[in-house]
Chains A and B, each alone.
Chain A
Amino acid sequence: GDSVTQMEGPVTLSEEAFLTINCTYTATGYPSLFWYVQYPGEGLQLLLKATKADDKGSNKGFEATYRKETTSFHLEKGSVQVSDSAVYFCALSGGGADGLTFGKGTHLIIQP
């Protein structure tokens, strides 16, 4: 079945550092890929998405590129802020109308 693997956390960075959170997936067919974020005390929110190979999703300074050849969708940000501290989930949709398949989440901590 479909699966998502993302790097273990917590990831601790200083403010203005470069961020990469790795995500790889296994799926049949051509999934759509997503990053969701959960800020402290809040519900899951869609951060960005990509629906086909080589698409780049971007939002709030975060970017991720759908790489079919490496089955990856790594999340990047050039300069993180304290307000980016949250749990980040990589997810895929297998193409049917079923629910999302999520990774375990990566807890990101940004220190001032």
Chain B
Amino acid sequence: DTGVSQDPRHKITKRGQNVTFRCDPISEHNRLYWYRQTLGQGPEFLTYFQNEAQLEKSRLLSDRFSAERPKGSFSTLEIQRTEQGDSAMYLCASSLADRVIGEQYFGPGTRLTVT
């Protein structure tokens, strides 16, 4: 069990550029979650997958945000046409479907800065 990993850990981009973040969950975990955390706030749920199926995406912040988990293993979160308001920490978490829903294991996050 190597834990949840995220790449990159830091990303600086210019407004209007597209960015993509990767999350590798704990290997046997079939649920994968994405959250956004801004300064002074708790994490805000964005979307989640069970295996390769995206079961909730209505909480994605706008149509500029999209996520994939093509083979039910790693996942990517893409933000198109970034805006300064997208600057935040993006967190990934994973869990087993047969455990208590909120018992999630979090990665270290990707900090996005949009200039």
Q: Which residue numbers of A lie inside 8 Å of B, CB to CB? A: 4, 32, 34, 36, 42-46, 49, 51, 89, 91-93, 95-105
Contact = CB atoms under 8 A, between A and B. Distances in A.
B85 interface: no
A104 to B, nearest CB: 5
Interface in B57-95: 59, 91, 93
B31 interface: yes
A34 to B, nearest CB: 5
Contacts of B46: 99
B104 A104 contact: no
Given A49-B100, A91-B102, A103-B42, A97 B108 contact: no
B56 A105 contact: no
A99 B35 contact: yes
A62 to B, nearest CB: 16
B100 A101 contact: no
A51 B99 CA distance: 11
Nearest to B35: A99
Contacts of B2: none
Contacts of B48: 97-99
Contacts of B25: none
A98 B43 contact: no
A43 B109 contact: yes
Nearest to A42: B108
